[in-house]
Structures are given as C-alpha cells and as structure tokens.
Amino acid sequence: MVFKFTIDTVLNKYIPPNRLDRLPPYIGRFLGSHQPSPRADYWIWLEILVSSFCGIALLEGLFKSQTVFTSHHVPIILASYGATAILCFNASSAPLSQPRNVLVGHFLSSVVGVCIQKLFGLSETGRNHYWASGALSVAVSSVVMTILNCVHPPAGASALLPSIDEQIRQMSWWFLPVQLISSVLIICVALIFGNIIRRYPLYWWTPAPLRSHDTAETPSSSSTNDEIEGITYIPDINRFEISEDGILAPTHVELNELEVEWLAILKNKLKKT
C-alpha cells in the first residue's frame, strides 16, 4: 500500500532543487550526476563483487581497530549492514537503496530501538520481556520510516538489535554514532564504485521535482492544465507523455505517490548528461 501523506508533502515545498549539474563533471559524476552507458552483465557483476567486499571490509576494519569504539563494546560490524550492502550494490536504482533511506532509515530505527529498550530496562519485569521490546521497536520504526518516507528494510534489524543483543545493549547510546558512521561509509563506497559503470544515487531526497515555497503556486481548479508534483494533467487525452522537459498525464487518472516517483525517475533518465 502506498500512503498519500508523507513528510515530503510538507517539506518538498521548502527544499531547493538539485544543483549537481552545476558541479564539474569529475565531481558530479561521483554524486550521481551523469547518465551511464549500457554495459555487459559481467562488468556489473564485477562491480558488485568489488564494491560489496570493499564496503563490508571498510566497516570491519574500522570497528575492529583499537579506537574509541572498542572500549564501548562495538562489534566488528552491525549485522544489518550486510543487507544494506546488498541493496546499495545490487539494487542501487531501487528507492529503498537511496542515501536518504539508508542514512535516515537506519538512524531513526536505532533511536526508536534504543529508546524503547531503555524504557523496558527500567524494571525487572521489562527486562524479562525484551521480546516485546524488540517487536514494538520494529513496529514503531516501520511506521516512523513510512511517515518520513525513508523506508529501508535492513533498518528493521537496527531497531531490533538493542532488545535482542546483549552486546548492543552494553553499547547503550554509542549504538547511534556507530549507525551514523556505518551508513555514511557504506554510502561513500556506493558513490565511488556505483558511479564507475552505473549510477548511484538516482536522487538524494526525492525523484519528484522540488520547488521553493515562495514560487509554488496552487493549481486553479478552473484551469485546463493542472501541474502537480511536476506532472501536467491535461483533459481529453488517454496517454502518458514523458520527456526530459516534463510529464503529461490525463486528468481522469489518479496517481499515487509511488507512481509519481517512478514517472519522475523515467523523466530523469531522459535528461542529457
């Protein structure tokens, strides 16, 4: 099910549009500002192999070293990042794999997981029912990620770990900076390797066109053309037209948020490098 309301409904009016195309090409490329050429499958397999190895090895190398983290019971790697690596390096074009989903999804779920575990840990009865703490943490984090439009499936494990893993409970609030560092590093590896022959990310915040609050106009119900979320609705047509300049859609078709996102992704693919 796709919900009609997310935080983007409010925030997209205030977020400035993407300006990566103004950067020098050699910088913009590794931020996802380019259109990749088709490549043979074996090149993509090689990229997935190398990037997955480097991403996981980087996290393991950092947290197993003698740093401030070792004195706070930090494991060699948080298990949820194995699943994140699969999404970022195998399914890099999926909405669930974009940087916003990885970074915000993991962090919010971790905050929810730690807070609920702390509440259960206040009493002996609560400590005897960490199974309920884990279930509640995943449930609450799922709703929070949905409302904030940053759903990332591996983040469910980030919400669950503080309740079911004794080592994570010993980390206490240090679990949060470890999550942030892990997310940033895995995204950095994806930016480096994912833009050699493919493109990552497809977008940083949302694929829908962004506009400032000052220039946003409320469509008039009496006008023949309504432009909402970058889509121009035209009466008396029975087709969709997608070009690099915009999207035309019939007025009698109601689009949900996910369908709008995919139309915007297709439009972005048509843009020239």
Same domain as 253, residue 158: no
Domain count, the chain: 2
Residues 6+ apart with CB under 8 A from 77: 56, 59, 60, 63, 182
First to last CA, the chain: 34
C-alpha closest to that of 179 among 164, 201, 163, 157? 157
Is 138 within a domain? yes
Is 100 within a domain? yes
Radius of gyration over alpha carbons of the chain, in Å? 21
- Length of the chain, please? 273
Quick one: which H or E segment has residue 243? strand 241-243
Same domain as 249, residue 124: no
- pLDDT, one tens digit for every residue, the chain (273 residues): 556 778 888 888 888 877 887 888 888 888 888 888 888 999 999 999 999 999 999 999 998 886 777 778 889 999 999 999 999 999 988 889 999 999 999 999 999 999 999 999 999 999 999 999 999 999 999 999 999 999 999 999 999 999 999 999 999 999 999 999 999 999 999 999 999 999 999 889 887 766 544 444 444 433 334 444 567 777 767 888 887 777 888 877 777 767 777 787 787 777 654
Is 8 within a domain? no
Is 207 within a domain? no
Instruction: For residue 53, give its domain range.
Output: 19-193
Same domain as 153, residue 54: yes
Question: Residue 162 CB: number of other CB atoms within 10 A?
Answer: 27
Question: Residue 175 CB: number of other CB atoms within 10 A?
Answer: 24
Same domain as 88, residue 36: yes
